[in-house]
Amino acid sequence: MSTPLFTPKDDIEKAMWDYIVSKTSVTHADIKGAVDVTDYRRTNFVAKLKRLKVLHKCGKVGIHDLFTVHDTEALRKNDTEKRQSPQGGMWASMRVLKDFTPIEVHRAILQRHPDITDKAVTLYCQKLLKAEYLRVVQTAKIGVRPARYKLINDTGPLPPQVKHKQVIIDGNNGTVAHVEGAQL
């Protein structure tokens, strides 16, 4: 995602700008919760960005306007790619089925994603279980039946993505350090 050019005039504007750029979209309440700034200063800053055509409305959350500095067409394309990915197919199937086994999800996506294995679906289910998106309805019995899950946290059409963050693990002293600037 490309970020429009804008130079904040002071530290408060920089804090608000950095927060806005770090998010796909924001509301006034989001900015207020992230940056300690008066309502007057925040409102004027948002108005300034809109006047400069750097920040534009991209939707609503309830009654609150949603704003973005990012190219909305690129965001839509990115969202479409996520929904059409293997994780997107698994997630869509889980949202439709509500109560399922990994085998049922695998069968549902097999035609669109023939390269995805039962094991990959099972691993995705296990990650979602640990992140509390799923609940076990029936435990697995090895060689008899797979685990049955229920979707308990349907957050919308975009799939939760399993990411791996780069870290350095030092076996000498047991420390873990996150790699600065590493991309997910």
Q: Which pLDDT score, from 0 to 100, does residue 181 have?
A: 59
pLDDT in tens, 37-93: 999 999 999 999 988 888 888 888 888 888 888 776 666 677 778 788 999 999 999
**Quick one: which of 125, 153, 160, 154 has its CA closest to 139?**
125
pTM of the model: 0.57
3-state SS class at 136: strand
Q: Which pLDDT score, from 0 to 100, does residue 150 have?
A: 97
